[in-house]
Structure 1
């Protein structure tokens, strides 16, 4: 169905090719997973299938890419629209209408599909993706995860032969991600749809893949094989694979079920070796309050987004804010920086009321990295963005650039921020906010687009900030990040706090929010591969 023959892509002024000599065949009715570090060329490879590369992105494509016999060099994206459905990393860039139902129907209208068929497919897709209650909602009022589900649904309704998805579960809560992946499985197994997707959260998807393509980056050739073959050598792998490596299992497990079947001996080895707690790994948070939220209510239009939320944030604390899409996580963060005015209750940050405080004063107390990092980026180069951040924060020249290099080495100083990958843009925005070193740091989906290595570096930076007394709140669906980093987890549902406590207590009590290691080693209280590795090392 999809054939790459010696494909290379070189962008103007780039020092190295984005892709170099790729040979790849994806048969009809297979799910092919692209993995690799941020900036390795995954989005470029996906764009070459849909025709966006090079027709819309620029650059030079060498070699040939054919999809169901059509050469993407001679067929522009609109001439592939009936064949290839594409969802990029940014769902907002995908939308062309105003409401959920209209967006689901638009692609079919463009292809001239009969109205009665359109109506049936819209209803099917609303049910498949859990969007029925949102059908009349304006797209602008949806959460990031809800927007992502609508974007996926809009390319499902025309029933393309090929689906190209760039991080389709990155903004979805665990339950919604499972729903989307089950839909993709049905399309592959029952309808013979060919799915090519890139995803950093491999714990969600690797067990469903037929083929895995590892793009190492830096001009090195791709590694192609079965999931087990590639995961055995891949530098990026899900926690369950890391657990298998630590335990010496062969072949490596790809799913929690595979690992649990082999974990009895490992559980026996870990008896009497309690995991190191977060309190033992880092300094205890100081009781000094940084922010307080009391009986907070917020309306988004006529929709109650928060209702009676009471929360205290202490100095040096790392808090993971979790819950399903639309639960109110982003609204709470935005209220803490004064972007939403409470309709009831009270919010104070550093002794001031955010929505009544001038922005120049508030930024010395709190910084927010939003889901869309472009909201913070306005310079024409990475160098310019970093220089502006240093000036705005009153920091020494080079402070922001040093943070960028530390979080994600290899970003070119002269590249325009819009030409970065989603993960690279996020790192740049994060560095811009961190340059000011605010006492309270708010991160909205901070690992979206980040590979495991970049995520590990983020964990290190946030822990260092906590040791220095900075407080961090992460609104995230990444249960592995919460297990690795957070002292405390707060779960929101329909705008209300339904759980608030130590990470180990909260995440292990909920199958939806439990990390892979906790599921494999249940009922023992292990959360991360690092904890297990330390215990095994101490026992040997």
Structure 2
């Protein structure tokens, strides 16, 4: 059978680059396969995907050597518009690809450009709305949707045109666990039942690797390794939890699902002898009110008839990392923007000021302020927010200019922001244009800018989007340092950190407490261990593999297996 996609001795050199980002690749994806592209940030995944529909080099520029053949067409002689009927592409940023105003119009737009008749268009719109479970969003303005909802609409707009090949760049990065499963189930159904060929790049491999027929690993040196997922993942430099577990236990291949891993550990009797907490403990978070640095009482945020945040009471403590979870549209981002003061809200928001240690009263008393009514200078010292798209806060031509501006706005000594950036481990040249940075580098720069003001409360909205496993582990260490006051912020200034995330593995590794929202209300609030082990949707893979043992991460598994068993088997 002729492959749906073939790359013969392909090398790609980007504009102004001295060396090719991809060099002498020979790859093939068979028709009806789901190919998973993996690699560290900056390894060339997006470049490879862009070559599959001619965006590279017809749009991006640069030089393409070798031959890329897609559905029998050579991309060298076919521009993206000539491949639109056979290749559908969904990029990392859904908003960048939208051209209409409402959900239904966006889904129909691609079919209009292909000249599909109105009667067929109407039928496909309905089918696609149902396929991705977004029929209730039909008339909603795209700008009013959450990041996850926008991503599902972007996928729907491409699927409606019924391409033979679907190219997806991080399709689940903004989706909650259940929504991600729904989208991937829809995609795999099309693969299995229709024969759709899918090429998918993803950082959260634990969500998709069980569905992959083949894996293409880009080590970052320009080469590519293609093969069986269970074998490639064992040696790749990106390590989802099951790959970490396989290396820890000395397995010769990676089980691609929790079911397979669970059977294997039970067969080998390698179960940590640690009991999980009782489900009733999931709502057991308690803290001394004297430790509170932020208090929300009866907080409400409404958009017309929609109550995004519905009478929420929540207290945050200094030195604590709290994960905020829930399905897309649950109100997580709205709550954060309300705390920061950028969204109109009702109810009470009180945050303690965080003066320098030498300026604190001997009694320990601190002033409470409302960031919604504080001056911009004071608000920066109360609450800082890193939004989902960190680049939205970057507007100057260089990293150095951004750092200097942050020093002035935060009224700190020159060089403070640059010093924090260095301690974050980003290593960014001062003359680098922020637009040329990777997602992880932009996040580090914005985080440094926000930390310069030494805020009492640090809010991070989906900070792991676009980050590989190594970068997420580094971010977890940074977040812990911010909370403890021992990290890259100014010394002696612990903070309360609130992280909105759909990444259950990151939440398990980085947070002390987990709050779950649904329909604008808090439905669970407890220790991360108790909440995550009592919820199928928000459980990390290690908790599922070793249930009922009390472990959340591969590191905890390693420690638990070294402990002497106290009853039960190892």
Deviations, residues 110-149 of structure 1 (Å, cap 9, x unaligned) = 1111111111111111111110111111111111000000
Question: Would the alpha carbon gap of residues 251 and 216 (structure 1) be closer, same or farther in structure 2, given more than 3 Å must change?
Answer: closer
Question: Offset of 1:383 from its aligned partner?
Answer: 3.9
Q: Which sits farther off after the overlay, 207-216 or 323-332?
A: 207-216
Equivalent residue runs for 1:132-211 within 5 Å: 132-211=135-214
Give the conservation status (yes or no) of the 8 Å contact 2:272–2:546. no
Distance 2:121 2:517 in 1: 36
Which runs of no fewer than 5 residues in structure 1 stay unpaired? 276-283
Residue 511 of structure 2 is aligned to residue 509 of structure 1? no
Distance 1:16 1:401 in 2: 29
Deviations, residues 316-366 of structure 1 (Å, cap 9, x unaligned) = 110000000000000001011111121x32112232222212222201111
Give the conservation status (yes or no) of the 8 Å contact 2:276–2:548. no
Deviations, residues 390-435 of structure 1 (Å, cap 9, x unaligned) = 4444555555455555656575654432233334333332333234
Residue aligning to 1:74: 77
Distance 1:406 1:82 in 2: 48
Give the conservation status (yes or no) of the 8 Å contact 2:21–2:222. no
Which runs of no fewer than 5 residues in structure 2 stay unpaired? 278-286, 353-367, 486-493, 566-570
Residue aligning to 1:280: none
Equivalent residue runs for 1:1-150 within 5 Å: 1-150=4-153
Distance 2:495 2:167 in 1: 40
Residue aligning to 1:381: 398
Question: Offset of 1:375 from its aligned partner?
Answer: 1.0
2:546 is aligned, of 521, 524, 533, to: 521
Distance 1:301 1:365 in 2: 29
Residue 474 of structure 2 is aligned to residue 457 of structure 1? yes
Give the conservation status (yes or no) of the 8 Å contact 1:148–1:171. yes
Distance 1:86 1:183 in 2: 16
Residue aligning to 1:417: 434
Question: Offset of 1:53 from its aligned partner?
Answer: 1.7
SS in 1 for 2:402: helix
Distance 2:288 2:108 in 1: 51
Give the conservation status (yes or no) of the 8 Å contact 1:287–1:315. no
Give the conservation status (yes or no) of the 8 Å contact 1:100–1:136. yes
Distance 1:361 1:531 in 2: 41
- Say how many residue pairs are matched: 530
Question: Would the alpha carbon gap of residues 374 and 262 (structure 1) be closer, same or farther in structure 2, given more than 3 Å must change?
Answer: same
2:455 is aligned, of 435, 438, 444, to: 438
Residue aligning to 1:360: 377
Question: Would the alpha carbon gap of residues 16 and 426 (structure 1) be closer, same or farther in structure 2, given more than 3 Å must change?
Answer: farther
SS in 2 for 1:6: strand
Give the conservation status (yes or no) of the 8 Å contact 1:7–1:64. yes
Distance 1:183 1:172 in 2: 14
1:258 is aligned, of 249, 257, 260, to: 260
Equivalent residue runs for 1:216-295 within 5 Å: 216-217=219-220, 219-264=221-266, 269-271=271-273, 287-295=290-298
RMSD: 2.2
SS in 2 for 1:13: coil
Residue 494 of structure 2 is aligned to residue 494 of structure 1? no
Give the conservation status (yes or no) of the 8 Å contact 1:38–1:424. no
Equivalent residue runs for 1:269-418 within 5 Å: 269-271=271-273, 287-342=290-345, 344-350=346-352, 351-395=368-412, 399-401=416-418, 403-404=420-421, 407=424, 409=426, 414-418=431-435
Give the conservation status (yes or no) of the 8 Å contact 2:98–2:154. yes
Distance 2:89 2:405 in 1: 35
